[in-house]
A and B are shown apart, each in its own frame.
Chain A
């Protein structure tokens, strides 16, 4: 197996008295494509949000790209530069043009010149198939286009890892495939990806590893072949039967 790039050991996260994650162990290898699914409230979003410190875990250890997430804010900043994240609600900066959305972080957090940052930005806009939208504002784009801009914005930081938190859940059905296509291309290029999604077609196509979570625990972790054909856990097969039924 390739080198480990993310490792979680006994990670617990509480919101008040509610335990969102219960002693979760997980390792992700460099280049691995992992899809996490599970019922709502199972802790899957919380899990990936702990990896870039949008949530602070209460117990356990998280090591990303050789750095441990601890109270040292420099470690947190360094990890965030290496870990891109795509949100369900896109979260583009509405007051900035598409191009400025893409160049802001490379210029401020990577110290790139405007010229270089714009060059990178145009490259990635091309990669997500919307080079012509550079000078528009987010509100002028469709949901699918906005999400592709958000993916490009993360890629402009040249991250080693990409996290996707239900990237197609807020999209109209006809726009889902344009976003998934971009994600499939990204997976083909060897990006390390952790994707929280219920798009099982996408999971079958690109995932190396399927993870099923329920009640703050990892119930099952398997290759797609095993996962979809003969899940070990009853909870997994129940969940799968529900979301694959239609």
Chain B
């Protein structure tokens, strides 16, 4: 640990010796910096919309994938396991290249980069979310199922009114984690030409040749977005689990 720290200091030391920082390229205090910042921030909307779309579509899909895993139907169980194991083994970048460049060959339908990116993230996420749902649903005590069954609730009503509301509270933290993961993975969409944050940064680096400053700024952008998500998820958790009364006095 100490050695790593020492090595880091040395590295910082030798680069600091002959590197002239150029923070002005991303400084809000001069016109050029302002222009560059505006350019970099203009990717924000794409990053946010890709991530939001991907997470909102993939969550219900993940639930749909998870549910057959609980049924008695062997085919359903097999589908659940096969989907999860196969999909989550595919790295996102190859999957995205396959969807964007490969799938049109098969289907004759061309997706624009944005759509291809969203499809990729949805597919990939749904497998992870299916596992999150599985864990959450399995964590509900058997007695809850038995009480609902003995009262004559249908399987769907049991899920909707008894099991899911309890599972959601336990699932929320890992789902928040997944949301952060999606946001970060959306940076890969720069490869197929979606003008999100990373792509914008890449373009600026090519014209300015200031990778250190521009990519530092890029990292800061993601950090801020993740902080916003974390705060949002925390609030949601508080609201849903808000009733401390449910857990006792």
Residues of chain A whose beta carbon lies under 8 Å from any beta carbon of chain B = 52-54, 77, 80-81, 83-85, 87, 89, 91-95, 104-105, 108-110, 136-137, 139-140, 150, 153-154, 157
User: Once bound together, how far apart are the Cα atoms of A52 and B152, in whole Å?
Assistant: 10
Is the beta-carbon distance between A80 and B150 smaller than 8 angstroms? yes
Is residue B143 within 8 Å, beta carbon to beta carbon, of the partner chain?
yes
**How many residues on the B side are at the interface (Cβ–Cβ under 8 A)?**
24
Point out the residues of chain B lying under 8 angstroms from A52, CB to CB. Answer: 149-150
For the complex, what is the distance from the CA of A136 to the CA of B245, rounded to whole Å? 8
Q: Is the CB of A137 within 8 A of B154?
A: no
Does B143 contact A108, Cβ atoms closer than 8 Å?
no
Q: Mark B226-249, 1 if CB is under 8 A from A, else 0.
A: 000000000000000001011111
Q: Which of B143, B154, B247, B248 contacts A77 (CB 8 A)?
A: B154
- Asked if A87 and B246 make an inter-chain contact with CB atoms under 8 angstroms apart, the answer reads no
Give min CB distance, A226 to chain B, whole Å.
Answer: 32
Q: Do A137 and B146 touch across chains, with their CB atoms under 8 A apart?
A: no
On whether the beta carbons of B245 and A80 are closer than 8 Å, the reply is: no
Residues from chain B with Cβ under 8 Å of A153 in the complex: 151
Given A87-B146, A91-B143, A91-B144; A157-B152 close (CB under 8 Å): yes
A108/B144 in contact, CB under 8 A: no
| B121-153 Cβ-contact flags toward A at 8 Å (1 or 0) | 000000000000000000001011011111111
CA distance A83 to B152 in the complex (A): 9
Q: A139-B247, A140-B245 are in contact. List 9 more A-B contacts (CB 8 A).
A: A54-B146, A93-B147, A93-B162, A95-B169, A104-B153, A110-B152, A137-B243, A139-B249, A157-B152
- A136: nearest residue on chain B (CB-CB)? B245
Of A77, A80, A93, A110, most buried by chain B (CB within 10 Å of CB) is A93
Cβ-defined partner of A104 (8 Å) among B141, B144, B161: B161
Bound: A95/B160 CA distance, A? 13
List B contacts of A137 (CB < 8 A).
Answer: 243, 245-246
A-B contact pairs, 13 of them (CB 8 A): A54-B146, A81-B152, A91-B141, A91-B146, A93-B162, A94-B166, A95-B166, A105-B151, A108-B157, A109-B152, A139-B246, A139-B247, A150-B147
Do B157 and A95 have beta carbons less than 8 Å apart?
Answer: no
Chain A nearest CB from B172 CB (Å) reads 13
Beta-carbon contacts under 8 Å, B160-197 to A: 161-162, 165-166, 169
Q: Which residues of A contact B248 (CB under 8 A)?
A: 139-140
Asked if B161 and A108 sit within 8 Å, CB to CB, the answer is yes
Q: With the chains together, A177 CA to B3 CA distance in Å?
A: 69
- Please give the distance in Å from A67's CB to the nearest CB on chain B: 13
A91-B147 in contact given A80-B152, A104-B153, A105-B153 (Cβ < 8 Å): yes
A81 to B248, alpha carbons, bound, how many Å? 31
With both chains docked as a complex, state the minimum distance between the C-beta of A94 and any C-beta of chain B, in angstroms. Answer: 6
Chain B residues near A136: list those with CB within 8 A: 245
Q: Which of A53, A105, A110, A150 is packed against the most chain B CB atoms within 10 Å?
A: A105
Chain B residues, CB < 8 A from A105: 151-153
A229 to B143, CA, bound (A): 37
Measured between beta carbons, the chain A residues less than 8 angstroms from B166 are 93-95
Give Cα A153–Cα B144 distance, bound, in whole angstroms.
13
CB atoms of A109 and B153 under 8 A apart:
yes
Contact A140 B249 (CB under 8 A): yes
Name the A residues within 8 Å of B157 (CB-CB): 108-109
**Closest CB in chain B relative to A193 CB, distance in Å:** 15
